[in-house]
Structure formats: structure tokens, C-alpha cells
Amino acid sequence: MLADKRISSLNNEMRDRIYDIFLEYESMKCTTREFDLSDFVNSLHSSLVSEGYNGDMVDFFYIDEVQDLTMTQIALLKYVCMNIKEGFLFAGDTAQTIARGIDFRFEDIRSLFYTAFLAENEASNEGLKHGKRVHLSHMFQLSQNFRTHCGILRMAQSIMSLLYFFFPSSVDKLNPETGLVHGEAPVLLESDNDENAIMTIFGESKSKHGNLHGFGAEQVILVRDDATKKQIIDLVGKQALVLTIVECKGLEFQDVLLYNFFGSSPLRNKWRVLYGYMEDKYIIAHSEQISHPGFDRSKHYLLCSELEQLYVAITHREQQ
């Protein structure tokens, strides 16, 4: 169901290894008589094909955050919509594809409509037989950002530029977003001791009630995973809202503190591959001779998800 131009980031050896893991996983599920979400979705497809759908049909579907769905999940909608040709409107941001197991582009939805929606529709098949092209609506980009100021948008666009450069087939190429309000770029805070940095941010001086000064309802600390979340909660208690990047999806905050994103990254020193982009775009001179590895898609495949997570964290704040 993917568009023809998609390229796997895995070499043959890694693909074989992953397939072996998949077979072991399937065997484990059979042994324990369990199922996962993919099994459930596939079972729904089988039941709807063999038994049909007897409930009320839906006229139109309007789906937001569509990048969090798999193609097989989206394909379920064809069974319950009476208006296959014009009954769907999808909205989303491919750069915010951080749900595990999902690699989304709007081009894939267009491919899905041809193969799984229109091709199975009798009227569309008749049109194809007579050489008539089935018309799909154009994609419209909402490039005016009403939430975030220009300083944050410029940083977000720099992350998109990295994704376009290293992973051109993984995200849709879009025009840069524009904002209505000017603002400064996000601030980078450095500290030799992470715990001291957190305590400094919240203020070592206590109020007359003996409590540390905390964040308000419009502020949040974003962390990479649940382990780091627990670590920060142990430090600040109820003085701040602490969420993982995945948990912040769909939420908006005035101020965001992104905690230790690069220090906890599984890429470790492989972030140096970004120097290749900086040289290509003349951000740094070739004469500086900064040592860095050449980009290898099979070795640096994690970079794509890391950049997408960073993009999500940055774009969920309105001010700083």
C-alpha cells in the first residue's frame, strides 16, 4: 500500500534479521494465544470482506492527525463510507510521525486510494477500462501558522531541511510555514550536572510555604521516555507537568522545557553526521575540516525518528 518511490532504510542483512524476529514474535503470540493491534485490524478486514458491514453507512469522514494511523487502519474506512470517491478529508503533519511502527506520507494515502479504494469501486473500474483517469483531490498545504511565533517556526523549518536532505522519501516536501508574530529562537541551556540544572530552573530559594517555585498550567517539561519522566518527577514533584514527547501530541503549551534530548539520544556521537549537511549548504567552510562520518542510510536510520521527535517537541510551544 505504499507509494512506489519509497525506499527502505534497511539493507538486506538487516531486513532478514528483522524478518526472523518477526517470525519468532508471531510464534510467541500463537503459543500464548495473544494478538496485537495489527492482528485486530487484519481480522476486521477479513470479517468485513467475508460478512460485509450491516451498520449505518457514513457520508463523510474528516480525520485529523492522520499521520498516526497505518495504511491498513485507514483502509478500514472504505467499508463504512457510502461516498468512496469524495467522502474523505485527511489532515496531518508528516513530520510529526512519531507513533511506533508508522512511516507516513500523504503520497501513500494517494496510492492507497488508487489500490484499495477506487480500484475496488465498480464505477472507477469502468472508468479505467475506458481510459478515463480517476481524479483525486489536490493536497492543500496550510502554511499559515496562527499558534507559534516566527523564531520557533524558523528552527522547526531547519529540522525539516535536515529531513529533506537526509531522508527525502520519508516526508512530504512542503513550503515553509509563516507566522504572524515575531519572536526569538529557542534558548539552549547547558549544565555539567543535570540535577543541578533542574533545581536552578525551579529556583533554589523556597517560598514562605517551603515549596519550590514551579511551572504554571501553560508550561511543561518534555522528556524522551518514561524512565526520564520518573527521574524528573522525583526531582520536582508536583511543581511541574512532565510529559514524554509522545504524550504531548495534540496538546499546546506557552512554554516548553525539552530536557536532555541529545544527551539521552540513542544516536550518541552519530549526530556528527549533520556536519555533512552544514558543509553541503556552506554553513561551515570545507576548509575547517571538522571530522564527521559520511551519511549511510542503513547506519543512520535512527536520525529520521530523532529529528521527527525534536520537531514535535519544538512545535508544541507557542512562546519559548
Average pLDDT over residues 205-230: 71
Can you say how many angstroms the Cα of residue 32 is from the centroid of all Cα atoms in its chain? 32
The pLDDT of residue 126 is above 60: no
Q: Which residue has the cell 530523532?
A: 306
| 63: phi then psi, degrees, rounded to nearest 5 | -120, 120
- Per DSSP, the residues of 121-135 read SHHHHHHHHTTPPPP
Edge-first strand order for the sheet with 242-244 is: 242-244, 219-223, 255-258
The pLDDT of residue 24 is above 90: yes
Q: Which residues 6+ apart lie within 8 Å of 194 measured at CB?
A: 259, 260, 263
Predicted pLDDT of residue 4: 47
Average pLDDT over residues 10-27: 90
* In the chain, % of residues over pLDDT 90: 29
**Higher-pLDDT residue of 212, 49:** 49
- Strand pairing category for 144-145 and 88-90: unpaired
Q: Which residues 6+ apart lie within 8 Å of 207 measured at CB?
A: 213
Nearest CA-CA partner of 71 in 96, 93, 42: 42
The answer to whether 61 and 80 are in contact (CB under 8 A) is no
Predicted pLDDT of residue 80: 92
Predicted pLDDT of residue 286: 72
Predicted pLDDT of residue 208: 45
The pLDDT of residue 128 is above 50: no
Q: What is the chain's mean pLDDT, rounded?
A: 81
Cβ count within 10 A of residue 54: 5
Average pLDDT over residues 213-228: 81
Predicted pLDDT of residue 127: 47
Average pLDDT over residues 81-106: 76
* CA–CA gap between residue 166 and residue 148 (Å, rounded): 26
Predicted pLDDT of residue 57: 95
Strands (E) in 148-289, as ranges, are: 178-179, 219-223, 242-244, 255-258
- Strand pairing category for 242-244 and 61-63: unpaired
Nearest CA-CA partner of 313 in 248, 260, 269, 266: 248
Can you say how many angstroms the Cα of residue 260 is from the centroid of all Cα atoms in its chain? 19
The answer to whether 96 and 103 are in contact (CB under 8 A) is no
Least confident of 211-220, 261-270, 296-305: 211-220
**Can you count the helices (H) and strands (E) in the chain?**
10, 7
Reported as a single tens digit per residue, the pLDDT across 138-169 is 778 888 888 788 988 999 999 999 999 999 88
Average pLDDT over residues 281-309: 86
150-166 helix and 302-315 helix, angle to the nearest 10 degrees: 170
One-letter identity of residue 59: D
Task: Tell me the whole-structure pTM to 2 decimals.
Answer: 0.74
pLDDT bin (cut points 50, 70, 90) of residue 103 is: low
pLDDT bin (cut points 50, 70, 90) of residue 265 is: very high
Reported as a single tens digit per residue, the pLDDT across 172-213 is 788 888 888 888 888 888 777 666 667 666 655 444 444 545
* CA–CA gap between residue 257 and residue 250 (Å, rounded): 17
Least confident of 92-96, 126-130, 240-244, 306-310: 126-130
CA pseudo-torsion sign 18, 24, 27, 33: negative
Sorted by where each starts, the structural domains of the chain and their CATH numbers stand as: 12-129 (no CATH), 144-315 (3.40.50)
The answer to whether 171 and 96 are in contact (CB under 8 A) is no
